[in-house]
């Protein structure tokens, strides 16, 4: 397996939004490469990653460039490629939040699960990707249970709520409140006693979410409520702006705090031309996240040990599966050699630690 990764580590939001995938795009891209490879696409605010079980990276890079209308020369400035064991370990680190902008954040595990289930819904992703992704999900759950890296976790939603509370905001419009990030943000904002109004494309969204305390209004009426709030948070998966400067100025000229958590971006940058208004996107929270991450670095070391162990387990499982078809020959060769020659061959071809571990398996009393 290998992974083509474009993430917050090398690419700012202007690049990430160009390379983000909608569900329709995931389906179309997966089908376009289906005769050549199985693939799982993970697309979040902070990363777009393509996991492939065969072929070569050049093929995937070329297909990605064609699909997203970007030159290979430009893309190479922002891409990391992880192959073989390193690709597996990278996925494990992603799933448990070690590679996240917010160290140990919880949302990424759900996003990895969603990417896996979505891809498998298009077509069976094959034994290798099944095994690797299931292992990554299991590893992330173990780390969450056995370490404190996710305890008192700080998500982007937490940071948004803290910012708005510190700025004295009283009322907030959350566009996309039914989405995962929108819902998390709304909960954290409301926890500070800030009144939340959410937009929804569905009726009775508050009941569906289980938050009867949130007022919800139709998405189509969002501009009518702009003048009634002090802050706006937008977190949709729309490929187009949810708020444009030309329409906002028809409804209000009051300064507000606008927070855009979407990739591609939801809010027209010209909004800052309204005197006193401020606009923050997802990358603004990177510095805040780095301060939070320092607290969790010790737990991250423990998580890395778990990742090493569980990555090794899945690599062994994949290798064992690959040699099952040769078990007959292996058995015949071992029987022909006899146990003494097997022991001497092991001694001559293994390190001391490997050889000792091999002999310990058989030297202990049954």
Residues tagged active-site: 45
- In angstroms, the first-to-last Cα distance of the chain is 39
| Prior bond of 335 cis (ω within 30°) | no
Among residues 99, 124, 123, the alpha carbon closest in space to that of 112 is found at 99
Strand locations in the chain, DSSP E?
2-7, 39-43, 47-52, 80-83, 171-175, 195-200, 215-218, 231-234, 257-260, 278-281
Residue 366 to residue 350: CA distance in whole angstroms: 24
Q: Quick one: 336 exposed, middle or buried, by C-beta within 10 A (0-12, 13-18, 19+)?
A: exposed
252 and 225 Cβ atoms separated by less than 8 Å: no
| Prior bond of 142 cis (ω within 30°) | no
State the pairing for strand pair 2-7/39-43.
unpaired
Which neighbouring-strand residues pair with 259? 233, 280
Question: Where is 105: in which H helix or E strand?
Answer: none
185 and 199 Cβ atoms separated by less than 8 Å: no
Reported residue count of the chain is: 366
Residue 155 to residue 285: CA distance in whole angstroms: 10
Question: Where is 169: in which H helix or E strand?
Answer: none
- Residues near 99 by Cβ (< 8 Å), separated by ≥ 6? 7, 9, 90, 93
Helix (H, G, I), strand (E, B) or coil at 196: strand
Which neighbouring-strand residues pair with 2? 52, 83
Helix (H, G, I), strand (E, B) or coil at 79: coil
């Amino acid at each position: 397996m290998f992974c083509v990764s474009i993430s917050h580590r090398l690419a700012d939001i202007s690049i990430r939004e160009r390379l983000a995938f909608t569900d329709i795009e995931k389906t179309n891209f997966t089908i376009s490469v289906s005769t050549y490879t199985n693939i799982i696409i993970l697309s979040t605010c902070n990363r777009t990653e393509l996991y492939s079980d065969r072929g070569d990276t050049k093929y995937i890079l070329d297909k990605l460039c064609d699909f997203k209308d970007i030159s290979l020369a430009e893309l190479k400035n922002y891409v990391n490629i992880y192959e073989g064991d390193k690709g597996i370990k990278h996925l494990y680190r992603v799933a448990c939040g070690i590679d996240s902008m917010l160290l140990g954040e919880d949302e990424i595990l759900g996003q990895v699960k969603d990417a896996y289930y979505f891809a498998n819904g298009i077509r069976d992703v094959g034994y290798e990707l099944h095994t690797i992704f299931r292992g990554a999900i299991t590893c992330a759950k173990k780390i969450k249970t056995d370490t404190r890296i996710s305890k008192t976790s700080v998500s982007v939603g937490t940071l948004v709520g803290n910012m708005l509370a510190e700025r004295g905001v009283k009322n907030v419009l959350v566009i996309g409140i039914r989405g995962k990030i929108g819902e998390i943000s709304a909960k954290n904002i409301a926890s500070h006693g800030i009144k939340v109004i959410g937009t929804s494309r569905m009726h009775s969204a508050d009941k569906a979410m289980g938050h009867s305390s949130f007022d919800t209004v139709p998405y189509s009426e969002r501009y009518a409520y702009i003048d009634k709030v002090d802050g706006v948070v937008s977190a949709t998966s729309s490929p187009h702006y949810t708020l444009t400067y030309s329409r906002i100025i028809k409804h209000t000229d009051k300064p507000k705090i606008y927070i855009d958590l979407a990739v591609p971006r939801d809010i027209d940058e010209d909004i800052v031309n309204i005197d006193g208004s401020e606009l923050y996107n997802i990358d603004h929270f990177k510095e805040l996240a780095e301060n939070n991450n320092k607290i969790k670095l010790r737990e991250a070391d423990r998580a890395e040990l778990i990742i090493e162990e569980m990555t090794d387990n899945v690599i062994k499982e994949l290798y064992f599966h690959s040699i099952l078809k040769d078990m007959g020959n292996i058995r015949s060769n071992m029987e022909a050699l006899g146990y003494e020659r097997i022991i001497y061959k092991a001694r001559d071809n293994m390190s001391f630690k490997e050889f000792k571990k091999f002999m310990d398996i058989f030297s202990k009393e049954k």
